[in-house]
Structure 1
Amino acid sequence: MIAKHSIPKRFLKDLKTPGPAQAFFICLMLSAMFWLVHRLNTVYTLTKVRFAVNFKNTPYRKRPLKQLPEQLELDLKGTGLSLLWLTLKSEQPILQIDFNSLLHDDAYEKFTLKPEAIKVDYFERLNIIVKQIYPNQFIFSAPGKYSKIIPVKIPLDLQFKPEHDLITIQYAPEYVRVWGDSLTLLACDTLFTNGLTHHQLEHDIHASLAVIPPDTTLKIDVQFIEVDVKIGHWTTIKQHQDVELIGACTDFEIHPKTVQVLYKKLEATHRLTSKHDLKLKVLSNCQNAGHKADVFTATVPENCKVISILPSQVALIPK
């Protein structure tokens, strides 16, 4: 016969209902546990997490525009638990980047690293998604493969004798084609020559200026730039000029019909002349009959400065 065991009464006396403080503490602990479980299952984005990187199959005989980084920064998306495990991991994974698998732009030797190119088993086990990569583009140069046309610039230091000034500067060629690697060409936007320095100029000059190579690795198809500088002389000219009447009302006579114009003209030193296409006009309206109107210059030749017009006003007399 099996004896029935019963709980001794002295143990039942020791069991007591928890008090209010103990019950509150138990509920608080349970709430904290539920909150923690909820937080660990919530999806977060962790930004700018650094990982060591190893590049392989870099472009043959090409050099990067910037030194390839030793680390990449990733924006990661995952649950709080997976991201917590990742941050607590003592040894972070090393990213393996194969240039053969990257998106390649042949025109600029530019490689683009997409998030899907990051393959890490540890990320896949924790369901961690790569959202963004910094940096994500790598540009390489190719020696002697590229060319571009760049403008020529001539350093000038020109000073002129009194009553002389510059008319034009012409040089050829104005643009030059340069060959070289894409990295060096990228930084080359202007081709300079030796400086042109002349003081007390009064006559035209011609010069052949040597081109200064911006880099020893670049090839240039010209060695000299031919420069022509045209110098002019300010000639003071006094002449009588007819005045033309314009406006809504032209039933007037102008008095005087001719005025004296004093002006200066910058002319080439080898062909001084006083015949210029200078036109003077007077604007009339129907209310200024019997009054005077200002004479103004309607057309002024190039490199011309009008000094004075005498008289500066003419009378408008009805016909």
Structure 2
Amino acid sequence: MSSSVTGRQTASGGPGFLKRSQPRYGEKAIKVLLVAASLVSVLTTIGIVIALIPPAAEFFGKVNFGEFITGTNWAPLFKPPHFGVIPLVGGTLMVTLIALLVAVPLGLGAAVYLSEYARPRVRRVFKPMLEVLAGIPTVVYGFFALKALTPLLQDVWPVGDPPQVFNALSAGFVMGIMIIPTIASLAEDSMAAVPRALRDGAFGLGSSKMQVSTRVVFPAALSGIVAAVVLGISRALGETMIVAVAAGGRPNLSFNPLEGMQTMTAFIAAAGIGDLPTGSTGYQTIFAVGSLLFVMTLVMNLVSIRLVRKYREVYE
């Protein structure tokens, strides 16, 4: 009898009845804001493409694409003009390579130390201090390379001709210091996400700390480490102020990092603040070089996405 009464009370909206909740307009508004925030990067990319395509297409209507992509003489403002972009691409790759030679070993070494060797108290102090480097304005890095590092290298250079006043070596070295926090922080986060059980199992088999770090944790976090390195490369490719201040403004197709070189971003910055008439071929070179840099970064990111998916480890 009591059970039937309870059933009637529940069905009629008694104490046991679960009422339908009111619409949560706040949650819907937050969801809309989050979707809008996620679309900002997509719309920004689309806007960049829309801004680049018409001037670049007009430029390639006047200049042969084969000459642009394979030519070794870049002098768009001289008479007769030359539009071979290879010296700018070579300078960009040279500075980026030097930066990676500095940032990858130091950044990954810092990540391994913070993740596997540092005590929690030390990690809480060192990681924010490391990330402070990412907040220093890049123009400060550029003047440091020009006024401090280059004179130091000129004084201590052991053999041959010392570095020139503007050179790729100083710019690349300082750029590598700049991207260390990017690589170290993201790689450390990936290593910290590796389950503790994998470490305990390796220690139980008699592995040393170094073996666990390099043969267990590092491979398990490889997808995140690849993403960190690729993000560092992207930042190095797109850096402007360091190379504009310290690497020089003369297009130079050379394999000698002691010489001055001009990168793609440095040319865009120099030409963009000049007195080039809008719509002229010289002005349109800015968009042609920018389009090439955009395509290079896009291809690199697509390759990195494939590598990340290939080496991704999923743990429960």
Q: TM-score, normalised by structure 1?
A: 0.18
**Higher RCO (Cα < 8 Å, 6 or more apart):** 2
Q: TM-score, normalised by structure 2?
A: 0.18
* Rg larger for: 1
Q: Which has the higher strand share?
A: 1
Q: Which has the higher helix share?
A: 2
